[in-house]
Each structure stands twice: as structure tokens, then as C-alpha cells.
Amino acid sequence: MEVANSTNPNFGYILMSGAMAGLCVDLTLFPLDTIKTRLQSSQGFWKAGGLRNIYSGIGSVAVGSSPGSAVFFCTYEMIKSVCSTSVSQNYQSLIHMFAASCGEVASCIVRVPTEVIKQRTQANSKFSSWKILQITIKTEGFRGLL
């Protein structure tokens, strides 16, 4: 993909960059997140799986990480470019803050359901992410993903 110029990259470039960045970060830090989740589990660290199956729940991260990050960066860049044209240069830091806030809200639409499934799979490594998703929807409905 080619970038039009360094100050205003095209949508596809932003989409792919955000998706790859999010996926790389989440896959790299996943084992630490699993350990943290199991330490916080009500059943205790060892009963939640201890150091076994340290990548339990990785499926939901792989599915949700890229879209969540892509939505964040696309929303951020869109809001920033729209606001930059109509707001004085003196308020650029406020534009970045507002754009980042909007990006985070938009990405949470994707990120929260995948986090719910990921954490439940990490705390109960007997089931796959897919099975946890099915159980959650069957017992709690789609509201269980929020």
C-alpha cells in the first residue's frame, strides 16, 4: 500500500497499520494477561489453570484484536482530520485528545465482547474460546458479552 503523504495517510494504510499493531501487542502480552487473570480468579491461580495452557483464549484475541485496533485508529484519524480543518492551531492538543477519546469509545464496541470471552477462557482453560462464546450466549444472551 502506498501512502499519499506522511501527514495524511490513506484509509487502507491506517486500517492495516492499526490492525497489525493491535494484533502484535495483544499476542505478545497475552501470556502475562493470562497469568494476571488467573491470579485474580475467584477459584485461585492453580485451579484456574496455573501455568498450564497459558494461551487459552488466544482465539478471541486473534479475532477481536485487529478489528478493535483498526476501528480505533480509523476513528482517531477521521475525527482528527475533520476537526483540524475547522479548529485553530492553538487547540491541536485538544483535537488529539478528543479524537483519541472517540477512537477508544468506538473500539470498545469490538474490544469488550472479545475481552469477556478471553477472560472467561483464561479462567477456565477446559473450554475453547468458541465454546465459551456459545455458553455465554446460551446462558446470558448477547447481553452477557457486555
Q: Structure pTM?
A: 0.68
Q: For the chain, what is the mean pLDDT? A: 84
Residues 97-125 have pLDDT tens digits of 999 999 999 999 888 888 888 888 888 76
Amino acid at 71: V
Q: What is the CA radius of gyration of the chain?
A: 18
Residues 50-80 have pLDDT tens digits of 888 888 778 777 778 888 888 898 899 999 9
Please state, in angstroms and rounded to a whole number, the distance separating the CA atoms of residues 111 and 104.
10
Cβ atoms within 10 A of the Cβ of 34, count?
Answer: 25
Cell of 129: 474460546
- Residue 104 sits at φ, ψ, to 5 deg, of -65, -40
H helices present in 1-146, as ranges: 11-39, 58-86, 92-123, 129-140
Cell of 50: 496455573
Whether residue 86 is predicted with pLDDT greater than 80 in this model: the reply is no
